[in-house]
Chain A
Amino acid sequence: MTTPASPRAIVWQRRRGAVAKMWHEFASNKGGLIGLGFLTLVVILALLAPIITDESGLDVTKVTGGLLKPPNGEFWLGTDEAGRSVALMTFWGTRVSLLVGFAATILSVLIGTIIGIAAAHFGGWLSAVLLRFTDFFLVLPSLVLAIALSAVLPPGIATIILAVGVTSWPTTARLVRAQTLTIESRPYIERSKALGGGHLHIVGKHVLPGVMPLVLANTTLVVGNSIIAESTLSFLGVGDPTVVSWGSMLSTALTTGAVTRGAWWFLLPPGVAIVAIVLSFTLVGRALETVLNPRLRGAH
């Protein structure tokens, strides 16, 4: 005997069904699945880094290895110019890259979503101004702007997060604006307005839920860009030089002559790590886009 389910139970059942269906579609994309698996592994390892490795290996005063030694039995990926293990440095660099990548992305997506929705929802001169503002930031060379910001702010991780976040929001804003426009042209928005729904109600209850899936797919792509931007800025010497990150490792490799001495073992691991992480985010983002945007399905 089945008793009539409560409305809340029906809603949850539908949501579970929708999630299961989306997961099924996502899982059918091999690249996305591989990317997601790899990222999960990397995030777990990065969180566990203080437990499974010894941070003192990053301290140049306590190192044990020889200077700039190629890979050997003790140091699988060799040592840097100060005798630190490259494997350990790359491992710990993951934490900085992911932290900056995620933090800058949250900042960027937040700014982009707010400006995008505002530019589409309110209309009139405000929209026009916001749209021009977005287009202006869209064409600005973001690296040069980020460098300028970094030069005037005190050096450090917070500065990199701010510089990357503040320069990378326009694509999100454009995307969100377009999506908000399509949603707001639908009849149920008109109905909601007719029933007396205010700006907050329409944006919160109707626009945001419709925009969020797209924002989510876009977010994974933004994380990849943020990680590249972070490594570029650290490479150019913006970050805190005492914090080990992939970009700062590569910067050290160039300035201390490891590159001219052909120390490929100091060069490959951080770069491969960047490429692997960014590629994974790109794969997941594209898979999500395919799931969320039926028009892309099958079109490859």
Chain B
Amino acid sequence: MTEALSSIDTAAPLVDPDERRGGTGTARFVATKLAEAAGSLILVVVLGFLLFRMIPGDPVLTMTRNRPTTPALLDELRVKMGVDKPLLTQFGDYIGGLFRGDMGTSYILQRPVADLIAERTWPTVLLVGTATLLAIALGLWLGVRAAWRRGSFFDRAHTGIALTLWSVPQFWLGLLLLVASNGLFPSRGMHSPDAAPDFLSQSLDVAHHLVLPCFTLLVVFYAQYMLVMRSSLLGEMNAEYLTTARAKGLREDLVRRRHAVPNALLPTVTLVFLQFGMVVSGSVSVEAVFSWPGLGQLTFDALHGPDLPLLQGVFVVLAGAVVVMNLLAELLYRVLDPRVRAA
């Protein structure tokens, strides 16, 4: 009953085998992917609306949970949020607002949601960008070494560590680092109030605050790069072109660096974009631990309001960004891998 189960390819799930077989031209491929991404974006927008209007019944009651209110105040809030209008009109207003870059007003902070998201984007980009770059460097280096000496102590130890880290909740890792660093690095926020106003001191101050959250994310992110690089390189290890390279008399590290690694790099390049969903999730919990003033912290604050207009805006922006990143991954994969292009 079990002898012929097919293996599930987890390394490169992004290209559907059916699509790979059908000989579509590049233009058609790009058009299909763009249409799919556009469909996903529409779904994100619709889901963002339905999630916050349909399920709870009355969003105003949800938001004022545990707060002293009067019926008059509730009515005023309903008018302000537009939930007194028919659902279809609300949807029209919501779509129109999105096109104008208007995502409503935050209930708690009393400011436009779009402005809040815009000013919180830069800290998150700084944090996850730094962590991702470091994770790529570390993950690729470890992955190449582990695969090249497959089955060695180095390989087994690092694969084991990576699998264990996969079981570690990100926020707990952050908490541990917070205790372990023992006040060596700032534990909260992005700026100290007493830093000098000049550019250098400000940058150093931010970098100092960046250490702990960035290190937490690095530990969480690198494992996947390492495991994918390892399995990808293992796939290339028995390739005939490596035998050719060795037969030419190339030194082993040249064979590895010039021949094997460039071919094995493909899946990891797209992984940068595919991992974006995980990066977003990671930033929410890690920013909550370190009070890093980014989009994750904003999501956390919105959850605690609960500030539904803000949460809706954050959801639409983050989910939309993930859709765009996945589109980039699929397009990039095709550009980089001639085999997929020729198919």
Q: Mark A167-204, 1 if CB is under 8 A from B, else 0.
A: 00000001100110010000000000000000000000
Q: Name the CB-closest residue of B to A230.
A: B169
Given contacts A143-B285, A238-B303, contact A213 B56 (CB under 8 A): no
CB-CB < 8 A to B175: which residues of A? Answer: 250, 253-254, 259, 267, 271
Query: Are the C-beta atoms of B171 and A150 separated by less than 8 Å?
Result: no
User: What are 15 A-B pairs at a CB distance below 8 A?
Assistant: A22-B2, A141-B281, A142-B277, A147-B284, A148-B315, A151-B62, A151-B303, A151-B311, A228-B169, A254-B175, A267-B175, A267-B176, A279-B167, A282-B167, A292-B2
Q: Does A42 reach chain B (CB closer than 8 Å)?
A: no
B5 touches A293 (CB 8 A): yes
The listed residue (A213, A295, A296) touching B1 by CB distance below 8 A is: A213
Complex: how many Å from CA A148 to CA B314?
A: 9
Contact between B51 and A271, CB atoms less than 8 A apart: no
A144: interface (CB < 8 Å): yes
B36 and A141 form a contact (CB under 8 A)? no
- In the complex, residue of chain B having the shortest beta-carbon distance to the beta carbon of A15: B1
Verify B172–A175 contact, CB threshold 8 A.
no
**Minimum CB distance partner of B62 in chain A:** A152
Contacts of B164 in A (CB 8 A): 275, 279
Contact of A236 with B62 in the complex, beta carbons under 8 Å: no
Map CB proximity to B onto A103-115 as digits: 1 under 8 Å, 0 otherwise.
Answer: 0000000000000
Report B-chain residues with C-beta under 8 Å of the C-beta of A231.
169, 172
Q: Are A236 and B167 in contact (CB under 8 A)?
A: no
Chain B nearest CB from A263 CB (Å) reads: 8
The interface of chain B, by Cβ under 8 A from chain A, is: 1-3, 5-8, 13, 36, 39-40, 43-44, 51-52, 55-56, 59, 62, 151, 163-164, 166-172, 175-176, 178-179, 182, 187, 277-278, 280-281, 284-285, 288-289, 299-300, 302-306, 308, 311-312, 314-315, 318-319, 322-323, 326
Chain B residues with CB under 8 Å of A1's CB are none
Which bracket fits the contact residues of A?
35 or more
Complex alpha-carbon distance, A140 and B277, angstroms: 7
Within A59-106, which residues are at the interface with B (CB < 8 Å)?
Answer: none
Complex Cα–Cα for A174 and B8 (A): 10
Q: Specify the chain A residue showing the minimal Cβ separation from B173.
A: A271
Closest Cβ neighbor of B43 among chain A residues = A136
Shortest distance between the CB of B61 and any CB in chain A (Å): 11
Shortest distance from the beta carbon of B24 to any chain A beta carbon, whole Å:
16
Q: Enumerate A9-68 residues with CB–CB distance to B below 8 Å.
A: 18, 22
Tell me, in angstroms, the Cα distance from A250 to B305 when the chains sit together: 20
| CB within 8 Å for A237 and B304 given contacts A144-B281, A275-B167 | yes
CB pair A144 B6 closer than 8 Å: no
Residues of A within 8 A of B (CB): 18, 22, 132, 135-136, 139-145, 147-153, 174-175, 178-179, 182, 209-210, 213-214, 224, 228, 231-232, 235-238, 250, 253-254, 259-260, 262-264, 267-268, 270-271, 274-275, 278-279, 282, 291-296, 300
User: When the two chains form their complex, are residues B169 and A144 in contact, meaning their CB atoms are under 8 A apart?
Assistant: no
CB–CB A18/B168 < 8 A: no
Query: Beyond the given A143-B284, A214-B5, could you list 4 further A-B residue pairs with CB under 8 A, ordered by the A residue number?
Result: A151-B303, A232-B171, A282-B163, A294-B5
- B166/A282 in contact, CB under 8 A: yes
Q: Are B323 and A139 in contact (CB under 8 A)?
A: yes
CA distance A237 to B284 in the complex (A): 13
Q: Please measure, in the bound complex, the distance between the C-alpha atom of A7 and the C-alpha atom of B1, giving whole angstroms.
A: 18
- In the complex, residue of chain A having the shortest beta-carbon distance to the beta carbon of B307: A151
